[in-house]
Amino acid sequence: MIKLLVTGVWITAVALASVYFSIQSTNTKESAEPEADMFGGLETIRGEVTSIPVISDGAVQGYFLTRLSYTVDTDKSDLLTIPLQVLVIDELYSALVGEQLIDFPSLSKFNLEAFKVHIREALNARLGEMVFHDIIVEQIDFLSKSDIRSNMREGRFTMKAGEPIGQVDAAPEGASPGH
């Protein structure tokens, strides 16, 4: 009988000890280090190719072509009522046309990193929160009017003729009206 009682106490002690240690191991505090910006919680959105006219001396001098992608905080971006792409395009126009951030006659002085930081900070300042974490440049080009004209002359670019609007098809000469 005592053997049975000791065995019961032993099984109870082992069971309680195993439950205690399993609870202690699951309740260990994880490190409070924040995750890096490129890991978790952020979404990368690929932007569209944007063509922005470069206006100087009251005339269009060429076109600035860019495709930007951006990493955003999805929790905050989902709350916006304006699409993110619209905000980015508006900020590009503000920076390149309004503020003339880039001096197009001397593109050798163009600082790409400063351009990306300016766009990101302007967007976050406009929203009042850190929504945009990084701007990624996929494409950035400048086409002057002379570049566009030379491409058209060399046949690298062709204009497609559209359909005339409001004209009635005329029957060829000698054809009967029923044909």
* pLDDT tens string 168-179: 444 445 544 444
Which pairs with CB-CB distance under 8 Å and at least 24 residues apart come from 36-41?
Answer: 37/71, 37/133, 37/134, 38/71, 38/134, 41/73, 41/74, 41/75
* pLDDT tens string 100-147: 767 666 666 777 888 889 999 999 999 888 888 999 988 888 888 777
Q: What is the pLDDT of residue 98?
A: 75
Q: Which CATH superfamily is domain 42-148 in?
A: Band 7 domain (3.30.479.30)
Beta bridge partners of 38: none
Listed by start position, the domains of the chain span 42-148
Query: Quick one: average pLDDT of 11-16?
Result: 87
Q: Over 60: is that where the pLDDT of 9 sits?
A: yes
Task: Give the CA distances from residue 46 to residues 70, 92, 117, 126, in Å, rounded to whole numbers and listed in that order.
Answer: 7, 15, 18, 20
* pLDDT tens string 20-64: 888 887 776 555 555 555 556 788 888 888 888 877 777 787 888
Q: Could you say which DSSP state residue 38 is in?
A: T
> Which residue, 171, 77, 172, 57, is CA-closest to 123?
77
Which residue's structure tokens are 């951030």? 101
- Provide the whole-model pTM: 0.58
